[in-house]
């Protein structure tokens, strides 16, 4: 049956049909609600117990306090009756390495508690609950039978074995890098502007106007973030004024790279667009970390986060045949993603991404961060940026579960947190910000 993945900070509702809704959960909490008699149900994927602040820019679906009432009300408006609703709850785990911060905040545990309180206050029956622990899981709702399953999340095993994989030679890898689709010119120009720190509102506007598809998406997202339905914009110029020059630059860069990064769709992506979704999450967390800590320019941090995994686009073309062997490598105790790549391809995605960035003439600080985002202590040109992206990548990998293969070495996390001097009290706002931006960009709002 067709499967829909509900991303963090959002919900889905449907009537009875042969499909499945699912959400991958670590510290997040997933809740299914369904009315058997009305034949309607849904799934919400919550990140936080309550909004990180009173700032109305946060999407309400991010937190249990604001998201659950909206979710319940939406179900009732489509025909469900509150007294007939049944609920199942999962998630709220403490997943290493995020647990270093999460143990102090207990975000997952408090989110699960808030959900239970809301359901009890609404007198909605809780049929199944599996929360807490130290392991990620997948919650799914079968829209045919209304059965909810809560199962441990594991990287899916290959369906077939293969014996015809040959490790690519250095010459083949070099040719693959040479033949890769070029990065869009709009993206390159924006990256140069960010690097020079000399871009102007007018220059960015000019670049966006030259791309019709990009212009249309900018207008659409501008209208979606407006609270006044009667004040819709119809031009890029007005959209830029509403969004703001800084945010426009980041949105334009993300949109420009969506097709390129989404090119990876075999072994690394576990769902359609998985690599891009993780990249946008990492970009959002990187930019916000830079803003909160002052350790790097936020726009540069966002760019580095967005491009940190571009090496996977190169290696992905070999993953189709290598995936069974790749999967076995990941099952070896102590093996991480980089070790598996080195064994099979003779090169890691970080090294491949560095070669590609150099081929494109990317700024040195950017290509170095791509190379060392898994080993930030090795960075010398801009070590703070490498540490920021490393922390962002680890956080994102725990909150974009089920989107891409990212079994990371966590031994550098403590030193990276110390290097950027991150206040864990800012963690909830960090998550909400990344979720808002990722949802807006990947869904085109």
How many CB atoms are closer than 10 A to CB 117? 14
What DSSP designation does 376 have? G
User: What are phi and psi for residue 321, nearest 5 degrees?
Assistant: -80, -30
CA distances from 186 to 164, 257, 311 (A): 40, 9, 20
Are the C-beta atoms of residues 43 and 31 closer than 8 Å to each other? yes
Alpha helices in 210-272, H assignment, sequence order = 212-224, 236-243, 245-261
All CATH 1.10.3210.10 domain ranges in the chain, comma separated: 170-442
Are the C-beta atoms of residues 38 and 75 closer than 8 Å to each other? no
Q: What is the CATH number of domain 2-152?
A: 3.30.1330.200
For the chain, the farthest-separated pair of C-alpha atoms sits apart, in whole angstroms, at: 66
Are the C-beta atoms of residues 82 and 72 closer than 8 Å to each other? yes
All CATH 3.30.1330.200 domain ranges in the chain, comma separated: 2-152
Length of the chain: 445
Q: 170-442: what CATH class?
A: mainly alpha
Can you tell me the distance from the alpha carbon of 443 to that of 81, in angstroms, rounded to the nearest whole number?
A: 30
The secondary structure element, H or E, covering residue 285 is helix 274-293
Question: Which residues are registered as beta bridge partners of 7?
Answer: none
Among 403, 277, 282, residue whose Cα is nearest residue 25: 403
Residue-by-residue pLDDT tens, the chain, 445 positions: 899 999 989 999 999 999 999 999 988 999 999 999 999 999 999 999 998 876 656 788 999 999 999 999 999 999 999 999 999 999 998 876 666 666 567 888 999 999 999 999 999 999 999 998 888 899 999 999 999 999 998 777 776 655 677 888 888 888 888 877 677 777 887 787 777 766 666 776 777 777 777 777 777 767 765 545 456 766 666 776 666 666 767 777 887 788 778 655 457 887 778 888 899 999 999 999 999 999 998 888 999 999 999 999 888 888 877 878 888 888 888 788 888 899 889 999 999 999 999 988 888 989 999 999 999 999 999 999 999 999 999 988 888 887 887 778 888 888 898 999 988 778 888 888 888 777 777 765 4
38, two tokens: 């009305």
> 179, exposed or middle or buried, with CB in 10 Å at 0-12, 13-18, 19+?
exposed
Among 87, 10, 100, 4, residue whose Cα is nearest residue 47: 10
């Amino acid at each position: 049956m067709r499967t829909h993945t509900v991303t963090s900070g959002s919900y889905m509702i449907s009537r009875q049909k042969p499909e499945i809704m699912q959400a991958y959960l670590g510290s997040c909490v997933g809740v299914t609600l369904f009315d058997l008699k009305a034949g309607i149900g849904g799934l919400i994927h919550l990140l936080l117990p309550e909004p990180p602040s009173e700032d109305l820019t946060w999407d309400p679906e991010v937190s249990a306090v604001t998201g659950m009432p909206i979710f319940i009300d939406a179900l009732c408006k489509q025909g469900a009756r509150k007294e007939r609703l049944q609920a199942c709850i999962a998630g709220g785990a403490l997943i290493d390495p995020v647990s270093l911060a999460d143990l102090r905040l207990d975000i997952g545990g408090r989110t699960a508690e808030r959900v239970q309180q809301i359901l009890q206050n609404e007198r909605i029956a809780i049929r199944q609950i599996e929360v807490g622990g130290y392991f990620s899981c997948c919650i799914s709702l079968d829209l045919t039978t209304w059965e909810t399953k809560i199962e441990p999340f594991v990287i899916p095993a290959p369906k077939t074995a293969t014996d015809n994989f040959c490790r690519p030679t250095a010459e083949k890898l070099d040719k693959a890098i040479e033949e890769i689709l070029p990065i869009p010119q709009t993206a390159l120009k924006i990256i140069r502007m960010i690097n020079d720190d000399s871009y102007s509102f007018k220059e960015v506007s000019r670049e966006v106007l030259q791309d019709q598809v990009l212009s249309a998406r900018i207008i659409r997202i501008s209208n979606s973030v407006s609270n006044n339905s009667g004040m819709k914009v119809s031009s890029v110029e007005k959209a830029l004024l509403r969004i703001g020059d800084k945010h426009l630059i980041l949105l334009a860069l993300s949109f420009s790279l969506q097709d390129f990064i989404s090119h990876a769709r075999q072994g690394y992506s576990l769902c359609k667009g998985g690599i891009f979704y993780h990249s946008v999450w990492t970009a959002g967390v990187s930019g916000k970390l830079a803003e909160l800590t002052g350790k790097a320019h936020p726009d540069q941090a966002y760019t580095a986060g967005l491009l940190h995994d571009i090496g996977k686009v190169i290696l992905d073309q070999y993953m189709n045949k290598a995936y069974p062997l790749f999967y076995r490598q990941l099952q070896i105790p102590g093996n991480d993603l980089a070790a598996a790549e080195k064994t099979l391809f003779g090169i890691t995605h970080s090294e491949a991404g560095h070669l590609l960035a150099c081929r494109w003439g990317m700024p040195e600080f950017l290509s170095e961060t791509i190379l060392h985002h898994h080993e930030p202590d090795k960075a010398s040109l801009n070590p703070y940026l490498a540490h920021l992206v490393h922390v962002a990548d680890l956080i994102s990998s725990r909150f974009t579960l089920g989107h891409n293969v990212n079994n990371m070495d966590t031994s550098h996390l403590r030193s990276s947190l110390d290097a950027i001097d991150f206040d864990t009290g800012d963690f909830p706002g960090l998550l909400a910000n990344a979720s808002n931006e990722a949802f807006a960009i990947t869904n085109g709002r």
